């Protein structure tokens, strides 16, 4: 296969990916992925389930016990691991220096056909991660995509009148 044919196939595959999600930190893209949804229901964009989707992905105080969404929970676990890696009970000096992150905000966006459909935000104040260095969500990308696919392929939705 020639380089030109290979490039055409790559462009065609990218064009077929109708959906994408983006994760930003202070309006800088950290992660961007394109994907398809089988049995996509266009009514899902105007439904109450879209709010439930965003809660399950980026929610900070879900349910009666204050559960975290997929992304904040992952960042919390990474923060805990980072603290334990830097913990040394035998040194008198604290081995971990808190990064200056005042005002850092994570933003999560879902696009359909390059058009933004939903955007949600959550603060970085609850995590010990340096948002400019330590944010790597590659491990949970399949979970994020499967959650989006699940919610956007329902047959029946509770419509929200705007």
pLDDT tens profile 106-151: 999 999 999 999 999 998 888 876 656 678 899 999 999 999 999 9
Cβ atoms of residues 92 and 102 within 8 Å: no
- Residue-range definition of the domain harbouring residue 19: 3-87+96-152
Q: Is the pTM of this model over 0.85?
A: no
Residues 20-65 have pLDDT tens digits of 999 998 889 999 999 999 888 888 888 888 999 999 999 988 877 7
- Domain assignment of residue 118, yes or no: yes
Within a domain: 115: yes
Instruction: Name the DSSP class of 159.
Output: B
Residue 158 lies in a domain: no
């Amino acid at each position: 296969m020639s380089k030109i044919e290979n490039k055409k196939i790559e462009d065609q595959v990218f064009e077929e990916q109708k959906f994408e999600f983006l994760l930003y930190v202070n309006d800088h893209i950290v992660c961007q992925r394109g994907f398809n949804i089988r049995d996509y229901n266009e009514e899902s964009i105007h439904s109450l389930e879209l709010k439930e989707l965003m809660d399950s992905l980026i929610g900070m105080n879900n349910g009666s016990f204050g559960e975290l969404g997929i992304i904040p929970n992952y960042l919390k676990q990474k923060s805990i691991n980072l603290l334990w890696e830097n913990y040394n009970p035998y040194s008198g000096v604290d081995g971990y220096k808190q990064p200056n992150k005042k005002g850092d905000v994570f933003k999560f966006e879902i696009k359909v056909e390059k058009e933004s459909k939903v955007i949600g935000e959550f603060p970085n104040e609850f995590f010990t991660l340096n948002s400019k260095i330590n944010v790597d969500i590659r491990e949970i990308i399949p979970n994020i995509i499967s959650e989006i696919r699940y919610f956007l392929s329902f047959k029946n939705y509770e419509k929200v009148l705007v």
